[in-house]
Amino acid sequence: MTLGEAIQTAIDYETRVRDIYIDAAGRVSDPVGTRLFKALAGDEQYHIDYLKKKLGQWRRSGQLTVDDLKASIPSLDSISKGVGKLETRMAEEDRGDEKQMLSKALSVEVETSNFFKKMVDEMPEEGRALFSKFLVIEDGHIAAVQAELDYLSNSGYWFDWKEFDME
């Protein structure tokens, strides 16, 4: 795979994830969930715009510069505090649809992250530099989606930490 093909594939992955978040934001009933999905969709759109800019640069000059890439979603600590505030409001509600959307989003985020990991391993230096920046942000997305899913599922885990032990 050439660097140009890899960037185009990354755009396709990011577009797919963005579309899942946009769909989920329109379906959830909880305002905090809607904000989370909108923030994640916004992050993915930023990634798409960034990658399109880099693809254009690569096609025009055969050169690639890697600029700062920032995430717009809040820190994992902020997300955990926000989701924790929902506990009393959500205790009696069925969140099956939201769990399904989160599961789908998590699956696509993991798939996208795996693609970026593969590109870091296979691309020349300038490609590795580009795709490694995405790994950090995608790991944050995965953690945020997993935390929300764990919370809604009452799995006993929060950010991969066991909250309680039956023994």
Domains in the chain with CATH codes = 3-162 (1.20.1260.10)
Q: Is residue 34 very low, low, confident or very high in pLDDT (cuts 50, 70, 90)?
A: confident
Query: Which pLDDT score is estimated for 57?
Result: 94
137, 50 Cβ separation under 8 angstroms: no
Q: Whose CA is closest to 66, among 140, 124, 1?
A: 124
User: For residue range 99-145, what is the model confidence (pLDDT) as tens digits?
Assistant: 788 888 888 889 999 999 999 999 988 889 899 988 888 888 888 88
* Residue 161 parent element (H or E): strand 161-162
Predicted model pTM: 0.77
C-alpha–C-alpha distance, residues 163 and 124, integer Å? 42
145, 41 Cβ separation under 8 angstroms: no
Query: Which pLDDT score is estimated for 155?
Result: 53
- The token pair at 104 is 């789908």
pLDDT over 70, % of the chain: 75
